[in-house]
Amino acid sequence: MRSAHTVEQVRAAEAALMARVPEGSLMQRAAAGLGYAVLDLLGRAYGARVLLLVGAGNNGGDALYGGVLLARRGVRVEALLLSPDHVHEAGLAALLGVGGRVVGSVEEAARPDVVVDGIVGIGGRGGLRDDAAAVVAALEGVPVVAVDTPSGVEVDTGQVGGAHVRATVTVTFGTHKVAHLVDPAAMASGVVHLVDLGLDLPEPAVTALQDDDVRGLLPRPAPDAHKYTRGVVGVRAGSEQYPGAGVLCVSGAGSGLVGMVRYVGGAADLVRAAHPEVVVGAGRVQAWVIGSGGGADAEQALADSLADRVPVVVDADGLTHVDGPLGVPALLTPHAGELARMLGVEREEVEAEQLRFARDAARRYDATVLLKGRHTLVAEPTGEVRVTTVGPPWLATAGAGDVLAGLCGSLLAAGLSTFDAGSVGSWLHGTAALVAGQDGPVTAPEVARALPAVLRTLLR
């Protein structure tokens, strides 16, 4: 599992470690990791040109010492000091001692092959100052390696509040930061490379499941299982206006994780034709999925499902009728526009502050909230959050959310909590899109058809 910690947590852990190790050793470890990451990106040392953008304090110090390693390997290293009065003096002296050079402007420097962003550390807030923003703009098009986090992003929230660096690679130290996982800041982080410093860290603020985590959470049938003990998921989705949503939701629910799928909705004939194994008609279930393409029937579908007192997944049209806690374990699956309506804010606000609003909604509705996006967030009322970072941009396609809702419902019916069902379901959904699309276009039915293969690979 990837873990992301807050600035306060990281600083406390670093202070505790620095009290036990020789002075400067932590910065040297960080700088070595940074230097080797830059060499990897360059693909060579001799003849390469690197420009360090050096801010104040330890972040600038990391950049300078990383430059020392590069210069010793034959890279031409130049440093532009953005806070000359607050430069890390020992780091600057070390760079000059191995042939590094200080320049007064971008124009004075050789055109670099790579820029190292050491402008602002994890304590920075808001966008870049005007002078730093102008320097970054002048270097547009040059690959950037960010030190710890891209300068100008909000580290603990994932927000982007103004001009900021867009990194090709971010080299971070000790642990991931929230900004590496949560959009929109995660989009500015590029590929994130973690340098282990041996920090003793508390419980993380945000996590992201990996293959082994998902494998460990997947429900498995007991040796004496039958279709009812494996779980039955009910689907109330699809309508006369949107019959395909019912078929797609059933496709996600019928991925093999439960023993049976029941269907109640306005697309019974289409569901029977596509999935002859599905039982059409109400009956006992361990979880309901409602709302996908539900149209005018969604309100009644929600009421009928809640009457069974089993966990529910509420998607799409069903979310319109959620005005408070539902009284049963619930997984709500909005996109940014739907969550904005539920919270009475603008969509742009949700997209800018995804972590905040996902947590706000989870508390308000006393439910697990799965906020769909490039990096999907799954938030608990307690504030615990998991981020799904797998899935191609091609997954932004009509019907994909219907498949996801059905898949999450099957995991609920198989016995997972709403939090595990949402985070495992979104991970499987994104991975299935990668498998189905092979880095190209993908449709919602193809995502559903790829799910069994993804599951077999994990379980094998």
118 shares its domain with 184: yes
**Which of 20-24, 36-40, 134-138, 340-344 has the least mean pLDDT?**
20-24
The CA distance from 13 to 15, in Å, is 5
Its domain, for residue 320, covers 211-459
196 shares its domain with 218: no
- pLDDT tens-digit map of 118-148: 999 998 888 999 999 999 999 999 999 999 9
283 shares its domain with 388: yes
Q: Given 206, 235, 261, which residue is the final one in a domain?
A: 206
291 shares its domain with 226: yes
SS3 breakdown of the chain: % helix, strand, coil, rounded to 5? 45, 15, 40
Question: Which segments are annotated as binding site for (6S)-NADPHX?
Answer: 58-62, 121-127, 148, 245, 293, 335, 402
163 shares its domain with 251: no
Provide the b/e sequence for 111-134 (b: ≥16 CB within 10 Å): ebbbbbbbbbbbebeebbbeebbe
- Of 99, 97, 98, 57, nearest to 81 by C-alpha is 57
- pLDDT tens-digit map of 279-307: 999 999 999 999 999 999 999 999 999 99
Question: Which segments are annotated as binding site?
Answer: 58-62, 117, 121-127, 148, 151, 245, 293, 335, 372-376, 401-402
195 exposure class (CB count in 10 Å sphere: 0-12, 13-18, 19+)? middle
The CA distance from 353 to 92, in Å, is 37
Q: Is the peptide bond before 221 cis (omega within 30 degrees of 0)?
A: no
Q: Given 206, 236, 260, which residue is the final one in a domain?
A: 206
135 shares its domain with 273: no
- pLDDT tens-digit map of 143-182: 999 999 999 999 999 999 899 999 999 999 999 999 999 9
194 shares its domain with 297: no
C-beta separation of 331 from 412 below 8 A? yes
Indicate the number of domains in the chain: 2
Supply 155's token pair: 């580290």
Q: Which helix (H) or strand (E) holds 413?
A: helix 400-413
- pLDDT tens-digit map of 450-459: 999 999 999 9
Q: Given 161, 188, 206, which residue is the final one in a domain?
A: 206
Per DSSP, what are the bridge partners of residue 326? none
Question: Which segments are annotated as binding site for AMP?
Answer: 372-376, 401
Cβ of 60: how many Cβ atoms within 10 Å?
A: 27
181 shares its domain with 239: no
216 shares its domain with 199: no
266 shares its domain with 224: yes
The CATH number of residue 429's host domain is 3.40.1190.20
Q: Which helix (H) or strand (E) holds 27?
A: helix 25-42
Question: Which segments are annotated as binding site for K(+)?
Answer: 59, 117, 151
